[in-house]
Structure 1
Amino acid sequence: MVQASASKCLLAGLVGLLLLVPALLATTPPGLCTALKTLSGTLTQRRRYMKHNFPINFTIMVHYEEVFKPSNISRLRLRVEELEMFVLQRLWFQVNHGVLKKVLRVLPEKHPSRRYAAEVERRFRDAEGIFVQSYPSEVFQKEFPEIIQDIWDRITEQPDGMPESSWRFVSPKSLLDNFQRTMRCLFSNCFAGADPQHGHFPESLLTPEKAASLP
């Protein structure tokens, strides 16, 4: 009788564990994955709107840290011990908030890419809102690791307070390329099965060696 009871408890425990596994794997809230996939779909048009409608070699000025690539993410994870993915995701939102503002700033109202850029920003803000609402407010009060805080401070610094060496000139398409690739890296569970040969880098594939080979 005792053995039968123990077997039932063990079976119940295994069932509970199986039910818990999907929750443990779903590190990104489902609503956020939906918003990010919608944003990713919009970004598939970036070549048409962010290259063909601009003069050859057209660039805009951004913070050095706003040239944010998968290789930057890999280096940060190597430099900061036990760096939480949540912290990198927060940094991603902050970096690209500034990037999209700068892209929109150079586009006159009647520019053929203005509506597209505004749509990308709107979908980005939708995803950002879901991200913020998906976590307790206390987690946004936690201090960043020093390296992350330094980057955060620099990208939010007023332009007048930044030396010339802190700026880079980058094409709008390159900025949105980085935007797309880092999104698929930091929220890789939303983009299961992405192909790294097409600029999509699931976290498990982003080794230091892979990052070193990226542009």
Structure 2
Amino acid sequence: MEGSKSHMWLKSYRLQTPGLWVKAVLHTTGLFLMAPVLMTSTPASMCTPLKTLNDSLSHRRRYMKHNFPINYSIRVYREEIFKLSNISRMRLKVEELDDLVLQRLWFQVNQGVLKKIIRVMSERHPSRSYTAELERRFKDVEGVFVQSHPAEVFQQELPEAVQDTWDHLTEEPDRVPETDWRLVSPKSLVDNLCHTMYCLFSECFDTETRQDYCGVSRLRRGKKTSSRNTDTEPAE
């Protein structure tokens, strides 16, 4: 961005470092100034709608499991099965991967997941109103997320590994190969939404939850612990 002040022309650049935005100002005389600007992963304004969403998610066992037939599953894209292990793999694959990129991907994944769950329900399904409310609260979080960041953030080029996933998520259903579809229970999909939320927006949840869902220790405990603790996370 170019501008003038007191007859001096300045050029500003933003350089990204882990957890930090560095604003570099280049003066026409050759003077190079560095001004660090700290950028938090989760704006404080997002915490209230996230906790409201978390309140709804605390009831997911009743509405996403008990109100469906045993072993009921729906068809989703392979990339819509977005777990903590996916986050871990992406962080290993992409050096210094910004949490903001993963948060954008989280919204893209789960808006499709919620739509697919609602689509299989009749108007009289006992979980229809719950899921519709869950989707509304999810959209509230997304709205605050968009408002909390400058527009250019959403125009930035994504890392190749993330862009590939994004492209698959936005593919038209009739163009998705049969091998890229998966059958998953609604409960598992909403569990994934919840657990990855705790990891990617950890600033809005307590320390115990943050360590449990974003730490390596949880990933190593495997499915047995995950299934046992699925609905015991306290709503904040």
Q: Distance in 2 between matches of 1:87 and 1:153?
A: 14
Which among 86, 107, 128 is matched to residue 100 of structure 2?
86
Counterpart of 1:49?
63
Counterpart of 1:9?
none
The residue type paired with residue 164 of structure 2 is: D
Indicate whether 1:72 and 2:86 are aligned: yes
TM norm structure 2? 0.75
> Unmatched 5+ residue regions in structure 2?
1-36, 224-236
Decide whether aligned partners of structure 1 residues 166 and 87 sit closer, same or farther in structure 2, where only a CA change above 3 A counts.
same
Report the secondary structure of 2:207's partner residue: coil
Indicate whether 1:185 and 2:199 are aligned: yes
Indicate whether 1:106 and 2:116 are aligned: no
Q: State the shift of 1:26 in Å.
A: 4.8
Conserved 8 A contact 2:73-2:183:
yes
Report the secondary structure of 2:208's partner residue: coil
Counterpart of 1:155?
169
Q: Distance in 1 between matches of 2:221 and 2:177?
A: 29
The residue type paired with residue 118 of structure 2 is: L
Counterpart of 2:219?
211
Q: State the shift of 1:193 in Å.
A: 2.4
Q: State the shift of 1:99 in Å.
A: 0.2
Counterpart of 2:49?
35
Report the secondary structure of 2:146's partner residue: helix
Counterpart of 1:5?
none
Number of equivalenced pairs: 187
Q: Distance in 2 between matches of 1:27 and 1:59?
A: 34
Counterpart of 2:13?
none
> Unmatched 5+ residue regions in structure 1?
1-22
The residue type paired with residue 133 of structure 1 is: Q
Q: State the shift of 1:27 in Å.
A: 3.3
Counterpart of 2:152?
138
Q: State the shift of 1:81 in Å.
A: 0.6
From the two aligned structures, give the one with the greater helix fraction: 1
Q: State the shift of 1:196 in Å.
A: 7.2
Q: Distance in 2 between matches of 1:213 and 1:80?
A: 24
Q: State the shift of 1:31 in Å.
A: 1.8
From the two aligned structures, give the one with the greater strand fraction: 2
Conserved 8 A contact 2:198-2:210:
no
RMSD, matched Cα: 1.8
Q: State the shift of 1:211 in Å.
A: 2.8
